Amino acid sequence: MLSQIARGGMSTVYLATDIRLDRTVALKVMHRSFAEDPGFVARFEREAKAAAKLSHPNVVGVFDQGSYDGLVFLVMEYVPGHTLRDVIRAHGALEPARALGVLDQVLLALTAAHDAGFVHRDIKPENVLITEQGVAKVADFGLARALTGAVGTATSQGLIIGTVAYLSPEQVAADTVDERSDVYSAGVMLFELLTGEVPFTAATPLAVAYRHVNEVVPAPSSVVADIPDYVDALVLTATAKDPAKRFGDAWEFERALVRAQNRVMEDQDGDESADWGDPSPSWAPAPLPAAVPGQPADDGPTEVIAAGSSTAILVDHLADPTTVNDAEDPVTEVLEPRPAPLSAGRGGAVGLSPPDRTEPYRPSKKIKSSSRGRRSLFIAIILLLAALAGGVGWYLGSVEYVSVPDVTGQNIDDANVVLAESNLSIEEAGVESSESVPEGLLIRTDPPVGERAKAGSTIAGIVSGGPQLFQVPSLRGTGVPEATAAVEAAGFAVGGVERVYDPEVARDLLVGTVPPAESAQRAGTPITLVVSQGLEPVVLPDLVGQTAAQAGQRAANLGLLSTVREEFSDTAPAGTVAATEPTAGATMVPGDSLVLVVSKGPAPSVVPDVVGMGQAEATAALQAAGLRVVSRNQFPIVVLDRVYSQDPPSGTELPRGSSVTISIV
């Protein structure tokens, strides 16, 4: 296993190597929480069986399926590139030619599925992959169901199956689904390609689903002006609420779409002011193959012409004249192809009925001619063909062609040095994102390597712009669940959570990300979520002995809220901190409260009552109270040895060390 490619609600996709066949594959592993659910496992296995039956250039191939150590897995074709959702996100609304070119290949894939007896049921941009060569491939047949069998309804156990933005009305209403359900979803996707938005939005998925049931998809031109009316009609027919009014299947939709492509090309050729863009942008699908498996073998005299464009152009031409012998008047019948114009009426589906696959060619008119006229015409044609053949032979003989060397992986200057040896040159014709080719080097050439080019000509080169980069979203102040969803929606993976203290962001909310917000990163880059632990704790220092003002300032510097309480103290000088609550060394968080106990000095002494005591007893009592004793004899001779009076009287509060006078009799 090499790396993680994508993660969804049901499974995770990894880039892996098939060591048996030595090839790179995509390994889809169901989340372990779902592997124990037989219903989910059955859907997973159904995806493998459905997709394995399809072999088509526009369908992602499935190689193997199984389980190991409680994990259910699916081995699929690895498709380098990006999804159609990435294209819409990067480009927004596409010009009609581009939109039709992309959907054409999607419909070819669905045609193969419908011919094989399956309905996809989850057509959306996320399930359409665009390869580095521009080929569109439909993936995720996990919802696919056989058109025949016991299960053919749109819901399972009361749950709507599919993605609500693209659900057909019958999928919401639990009616039986068939090919026309895929046609509806493809029509909604075409609406989004043309306008950059889905036709229905609402506050909840269920509300979106019921809008599909109760409302009509609007014409794309109601959102984006200048969309041709026949393109409007194409969307409106595909998204008709009544399945009977839609195209019968993907094949009929694709035939009508091809005719619309022809109209778009004709309008571009005939209207110099038309600004529908180059139908072959750098990401656009490659030309269609000459024959597409799963389509009818005979569709009349029709050719598929790629012409270097992503949009396949089907050119109807006249069949060879057929002579019908008539006894009196020979006639030549000119057989025309079946008509396929789109309606000019905006906003409706009139004139969009697709051709029957088996519809024969019909004679449209008769042109009388004489036998002599036919002979003259025949001779003229022979002479013209001979002259043409001679001219072509002379031209081919006089023009030198060379094989295009392989210069991929080189810069333009180095490539010109190599090509000069073959009498060719190269110039940059565009830039494309590439995960494998470094920035500034050639990805491919036109004509491709090995094909012929006219000697002395300049070929086109597509240069790598490096890996496609996406912007990391700004997530500061959001919760971890919301941030995780936003990171995954932006095409990245959550690489872990880092917790830091932050004075500005509340606890458990995001401070930022690593790499930082708005930086450009590759899809799938691990994004670390930096989460706040709130304010950083502090350790309370020893403030005892400091003045109240000094201790209060230090507490404020630490973010603590201090209050003062004064108390008597025999040890701390008055006006200094005698103690703190809590004590020094405690862990506190900024904003916590701190009490500063400030000394008022020693507590005062209360003069005891010593009147009537002997002199020695009274002296001891006063000294015990912290007072000094001054004795005075009342008479020259002490007769009774008793305290007659004291000054100050008992109960008086005096500072310690104050004097008390006693009179002895």
Catalytic residue set: 122
User: Parallel, antiparallel, or unpaired: how do β-strands 155-156 and 159-160 relate?
Assistant: antiparallel
| Rounded CA separation 125/379 (Å) | 57
Q: Which residues contact 219 (CB under 8 A, 6 or more apart)?
A: 227, 232, 235, 236, 346, 347
Q: Which residues contact 253 (CB under 8 A, 6 or more apart)?
A: 107, 183, 186, 187, 238, 247, 354
**Residue 24: both structure tokens together:** 């790179």
| Rounded CA separation 508/531 (Å) | 6
| Rounded CA separation 410/574 (Å) | 86
Q: Which residues contact 275 (CB under 8 A, 6 or more apart)?
A: 95
Sign of torsion over alpha carbons 254, 175, 59, 57: negative
Bridge partners, residue 25, by sequence? 16, 77
Cα angle value 17/18/22 (rounded, 5°): 90
Cα angle value 325/329/330 (rounded, 5°): 35
DSSP state of 479: B
**Token pair 């019908």: residue:** 324
Q: What does residue 453 show for φ and ψ, rounded to 5 degrees?
A: -140, 150
| Rounded CA separation 241/349 (Å) | 12
| Rounded CA separation 583/587 (Å) | 10
In 302-380 the beta strands, taken as DSSP E runs, fall at 302-305, 313-316, 322-324, 331-336, 362-368
SS3 400: coil
Q: What does residue 156 show for φ and ψ, rounded to 5 degrees?
A: -135, 115
User: Parallel, antiparallel, or unpaired: how do β-strands 442-446 and 425-432 relate?
Assistant: unpaired
Q: Hey, what's the torsion of the CAs at 373, 377, 380, 381, to 10 degrees?
A: -170
SS3 content of the chain, % helix, strand, coil (to 5): 30, 25, 45
| Run of H or E including 26 | strand 23-30
SS3 554: helix
**C-alpha atoms less than 13 angstroms from C-alpha of 631 in its C-beta half-sphere:** 19
Spacing of C-alpha 368 from chain mean position:
65
| Rounded CA separation 164/167 (Å) | 5
| Rounded CA separation 142/13 (Å) | 14
Burial class of residue 295, CB neighbours in 10 A (0-12, 13-18, 19+): middle
**C-alpha atoms less than 13 angstroms from C-alpha of 146 in its C-beta half-sphere:** 7
| Rounded CA separation 11/232 (Å) | 37
DSSP conformation letters of 425-450: EEEEEEEE--SSSPTTSEEEEESPTT
| Rounded CA separation 118/122 (Å) | 12
**Residue 608: both structure tokens together:** 């005891």
If you count them, how many residues does the chain have? 665
